[in-house]
Copies of this chain bind each other. A is one copy, B any other.
């Protein structure tokens, strides 16, 4: 089996064939991003408690392409993924971007990694431990001037109970699963764990979710949600309240919180969004 780095035999074979990608392009149009996407790949993500989460990621890697080049070299992205898989975690991303810039001979390199992590969640009364899944992502870019931009995010499901329904009804109150998405641009002054953001989201809902609930636990979470009603507006505001100090002390350059309530009384969703700070320059729209 040939090692991952290309040996002379490979290079000889490659060089014997024409390289259409390297031919000049007459259109004069630079390409912002070109590369590969929808790659599934197993990764290990370090956790705040010192452990490691084995997970499966969806990866995308792109570079900028100057106006005078016809195409990029797609196989180099996949070789970089094989070689640098162990650095595809928050603290290794900068090195991967540097490597991509070099390997692809590009000004700017882009990276997106999305994966679930699994955290222990003991039941609130009985303490029985189960694991809950949270979607995380890391987006990052590095340009020729050394500017690094990063965006991290989590998606946290939780329970919301409607304050209006509770107030106007003689008994009960409609409640439902909500999806809380937090994204932010860390400045790098302080390390922010996905777990920190998960806790902020869970503390902002009517009640967090649990994988295992015995009857005393179910009684607890039912009453907890009833005592803690939240509109979709309340949830995004309460998350924003907890994120604002990060922004104020320069740890976060930008943040956005979105909440979607899968309304139990409707077939549509209630949605809300708060966004603060300066948007990214390199990382365009998609979170």
Contact = CB atoms under 8 A, between A and B. Distances in A.
Interface stretch (A87-95, A98-106, A220-228): A220-228
Question: How big is chain A's contact interface, by range?
Answer: 35 or more
Interface string A257-287: 0001011111111111111000000001111
A132 interface: yes
Contacts of A157: 267
Interface in A24-49: 25, 27, 29-42, 44
Contact of A177 (B25, B33, B79, B264): B264
B209 A260 contact: no
B74 A270 contact: yes
Given A6-B126, A212-B79, A264 B159 contact: yes
Contact of A82 (B130, B173, B223, B233): B130
A195 interface: no
Contacts of A168: 17-18, 20, 215, 218-219, 222
Identical chains in the assembly:
4
Interface stretch (A141-149, A184-192, A235-243, A245-253): A235-243
B82 A55 contact: no
B29 A237 contact: yes
A207 interface: yes
A62 interface: yes
Contacts of A263: 177
Contacts of A35: 270-272
A14 B264 contact: no
Contacts of A166: 172
Contact of A78 (B38, B55, B70, B211): B211
Contacts of A4: 128-129
B116 A40 contact: yes
Contacts of A215: 13-14, 17, 19, 164, 168
7 contacts: A6-B214, A10-B214, A20-B167, A30-B274, A70-B233, A74-B270, A176-B177
Interface of A: 1-2, 4, 6, 9-10, 13-14, 16-21, 25, 27, 29-42, 44, 53-56, 60, 62, 65, 70-72, 74-75, 78-79, 81-82, 116, 118, 122, 125-133, 157, 159, 161-177, 207, 209-216, 218-219, 221-223, 225-227, 231-234, 236-238, 240-241, 260, 262-275, 284-287
